[in-house]
Structure 1
Amino acid sequence: MSVDAILRTEFPAGYTVFFGADGKVIMTPQGFEHSHTIKSLQMDSLALGRHAKTTSDVCLDFPADENSAPDFAILREDAQKQGKRYSFEDVLLIAEVVSVSSARRDYDDCTAKYGRYSIPVYVIVDPYAGEVVVHTEPTGTGYITARTHKYGTGKLPIELADGRTYPLDLDELPMPEPEGR
């Protein structure tokens, strides 16, 4: 399936769609905690300014058709669309929220991919472990530095490559609710 065909496809509401480099399209239902966590990340980005360039579940161009639609991304203020989308070169921070079906991809595949493309900061938000892992210093195979921070430990200032600070509020990240009857 071509990138243009994918962009014109309407996927069912309530699903997150992942595109693998091998051409696979993976659809997974988005849970309440996942959606609520992305909302928290967005709310914290207001500290960067009301019109800061951020995206959620929006396709970004990467080389070799490895395009991604990360759960949350912060772009450079001077980022310009190239065609219909922004490029990975415009990204300052990417955050992925772990779900039961995405843990391996978020912890392993995305860490390698985002490091390979020199995304300055990659954040894994894991509601099930109640922690956030902040990766910095990208390399060709991942990241040199990974620091883990527990939920409920206050505001975590994350330095962006353009000198701004993204204040991730670890007290406001939602924990998964117990399953009902």
Structure 2
Amino acid sequence: MSVDAVMDTEFPTGYAVFFGIDGKVVMTPQSEERSSTIRSMQIDSLALGRHAKVISDVYLDFPADEHSAPDFAIMREDARRQGKRYSFKDVLLIAEVVSVSSARKDYDDCTAKYGRYGIPVYVVVDPYAAEVVVHSQPTGSGYIAAHRHTYGSGKLPIELADGRTYTLDLDELPRPDADGH
């Protein structure tokens, strides 16, 4: 099934839909942790300015029909949609929030994909491991640098390619309940 065919499909409320590297369409329920984490990242992005181009779960065009709707992205200030979507070339930072079913995709597949397409900063936010991994210096197969930061360790400044700094507050990221839900 192509991305364009799925774009007009109405999926059940509370599910995220993503496309695997092997062409499979995967629906996964969104957790409260995922939702709260994205909201926390959006709140932190307000320091970039009220009208900064920050998107969540919005499709981006990548070459070879490898479209993505990342959990959170910061775009260049001069980014303009081409049709209904932004281009991957306008992205400064992408963050994916790990869920139980998406760990391999977020840690492996997305790291390779976003690096291959030159996304300057890729952030994996993992509520279950209580860590954030910041990837920088993209290459054709991933990233040269990956730095791990633990939840509860203060504010994490992340330099953007346009000279601005996005600061993620690691003290405010939600954690799953003790039973993993």
Shorter chain as normaliser: what TM range?
over 0.9
Q: Residues 140-155 of structure 1 correspond to what in structure 2 (within 5 A)?
A: 140-155=140-155
Q: Contact 2:56 / 2:70 at 8 angstroms: preserved in 1?
A: yes
Q: Contact 2:21 / 2:109 at 8 angstroms: preserved in 1?
A: no
1:74 corresponds to: 74
After superposition, the C-alpha distances for 1:50-85 in whole angstroms (9 at most, x for unaligned) are 111011111100000000010000000000111110
Q: Contact 1:21 / 1:65 at 8 angstroms: preserved in 2?
A: no
Other structure's SS at 1:82 match: coil
The alignment's TM-score, normalised by the length of structure 1, stands at 0.96
2:171 corresponds to: 171
Other structure's SS at 1:45 match: helix
Other structure's SS at 2:60 match: coil
* Unpaired runs of at least 5, structure 2: none
2:40 corresponds to: 40
Shift of 1:46: 0.4
Is 1:133 aligned to 2:133, yes or no? yes
Amino acid at match of 1:13: T
The alignment's TM-score, normalised by the length of structure 2, stands at 0.96
Shift of 1:21: 4.1
Q: Residues 85-164 of structure 1 correspond to what in structure 2 (within 5 A)?
A: 85-164=85-164
Cα distance in 1, alignment partners of residues 85 and 155 from structure 2? 31
* Unpaired runs of at least 5, structure 1: none
Structure 1 moving runs of 4+ over 4 Å: none
1:17 corresponds to: 17
Other structure's SS at 1:46 match: helix
Please provide the CA RMSD for this pair. Answer: 1.1
Cα distance in 2, alignment partners of residues 50 and 95 from structure 1? 19
